Amino acid sequence: MAWTKYQLFLAGLMLVTGSINTLSAKWADNFVAEGCRGSKEHSFQHPFLQAVGMFLGEFSCLAAFYLLRCRATGQSDSSVDPQQPFNPLLFLPPALCDMTGTSLMYVALNMTSASSFQMLRGAVIIFTGLFSVAFLGRRLVLSQWLGILATIAGLVVVGLADLLSKHDSQHKLSEVITGDLLIIMAQIIVAIQMVLEEKFVYKHNVHPLRAVGTEGLFGFVILSLLLVPMYYIPAGSFSGNPRGTLEDALDAFCQVGRQPLIAVALLGNISSIAFFNFAGISVTKELSATTRMVLDSLRTVVIWALSLALGWEAFHALQILGFLILLIGTALYNGLHRPLLGRLSRGRPLAEESEQERLLGGTRTPINDAS
């Protein structure tokens, strides 16, 4: 069935804003500017402040939800009608997981390339599959276990590509290895978030924009408050600011004042996450969750291609192999091979699959699949 102009717009919006989200964060990391109190020029390495900005973008989805709700007043659109009562504190545990995982990933993005960052996030399939068996009592079919094994193989190949790539003064080998490990650790936390959302949140039938905005509100408030103690906690070699602390928000604002393009990168990151969440939810509703997964894979290609074109990283053929293996693993886990095999065996067109798959048993993504 041919896509409408609106569906093409949504797909394009998801692809573009999803790519901008990672690229703008990496662009901000690449800037060098003076800090406060006359400190010498240094890289803009403020992952926790960037995570606060991301949660601000998610929080804006709450405003979008209420705008849609007002617009739907008097219309037949039931998707934003007042839903069954629920306790907003249900979103606190997933928000804490999201806050921890996102912060770790922004720290890791300072240490590794944008393409490796995006590819290694595919590790979430391994942990969601294992946790779904352990905590939700699911039974994975053979293709899902094969998908997990393929994903592990793909991660090994991508990691090997990072080890064999040339490393400059900005990304030393030890930092790249640490960054890659932090990304994989973050996926464990994301998988826990998905289990919590599946077990406690989805049964309340909360509108996705409302869910994203509520988690964003919790994450924004809590992480903003944590910036105060982070200003005093020593972090040693993990610190990217002159004071050597876990985070120095004042130094970040001074750098933004001296290099306004950093503000452009941060605003791009904040706005893109809001539009990306809206576009992703709309693509799932208007097209399919499978289409959303394919677009997310294309996002990795766009990020990789632009990173190469901008000179942010060097080409390595192993990354292509690793990405293809990860793609196969994702397809197997989410069952994309089934309609293809059905068509080959029956000679019929691809059937439209039901898009009511549950979170960990199909192509469902976390409420705020952001970064």
pLDDT one-digit tens code per residue, 102-126: 999 999 998 888 888 999 998 998 9
**Cα(255)–Cα(29) distance, rounded to whole angstroms?**
12
Q: Tell me which amino acid residue 194 is.
A: M
Task: Provide mean pLDDT across the span 296-303.
Answer: 88
Can you tell me which residue has the tokens 């677009």? Answer: 295
pLDDT tens, residue by residue, 76-111:
555 555 555 778 888 899 999 999 999 999 999 988
Domain that holds residue 98: 5-35+43-69+87-342
- Dump pLDDT digits (tens) for 4-14: 888 899 899 99
What pLDDT is recorded for position 324? 93
d(CA 141, CA 9): 35
**pLDDT category, 54, cuts 50, 70, 90?**
very high
What pLDDT is recorded for position 33?
A: 93
Range 147-160 average pLDDT: 93
19 assigned to some structural domain: yes
Give the confidence band of 209 by pLDDT, cuts at 50, 70, 90: confident
Q: Is residue 367 part of a domain?
A: no
Identify whether 358 is part of a domain.
no
What pLDDT shows up at residue 350? Answer: 43
Q: Residues with Cβ < 8 Å from 273, sequence gap 6 or more? A: 17, 21, 54, 57, 58, 370, 371
CB burial readout 150-160, b (16+ within 10 A) else e: bbbbbbebbbe
User: For residue 43, what are the β-bridge partners?
Assistant: 32
Give me the half-sphere count of Cα atoms (radius 13 Å) on the Cβ side of residue 182: 22
Mapping DSSP to helix (H, G, I), strand (E, B) and coil, where does residue 42 land?
Answer: strand
Is residue 145 pLDDT above 50, yes or no? yes
This model's pTM is above 0.85: no
23-32, 66-75, 279-288 — most confident range: 23-32
Q: Which amino acid is at 289?
A: A
The answer as to whether 229 is a domain residue is yes
pLDDT of residue 253: 95
Q: Is residue 13 part of a domain?
A: yes
Supply the pLDDT for residue 357. Answer: 41
Count: domains in the chain: 1
Summarised one tens digit per residue, pLDDT across range 314-360 is 888 898 999 999 999 988 888 877 766 666 666 544 444 443 344 44
Q: Residue 81 domain-assigned?
A: no
Cα distance between residue 30 and residue 333, in whole Å: 35
Of 155, 213, 144, nearest to 360 by C-alpha is 144
Looking at the domain assignment, is residue 282 inside a domain?
A: yes
- For residues 240-269, give the mean pLDDT: 93
Identify whether the C-beta of residue 371 lies closer than 8 Å to the C-beta of residue 114: no
Tell me, yes or no, whether 141 lies in a domain: yes
Nearest Cα to 355, choosing from 277, 302, 295, 292? Answer: 292
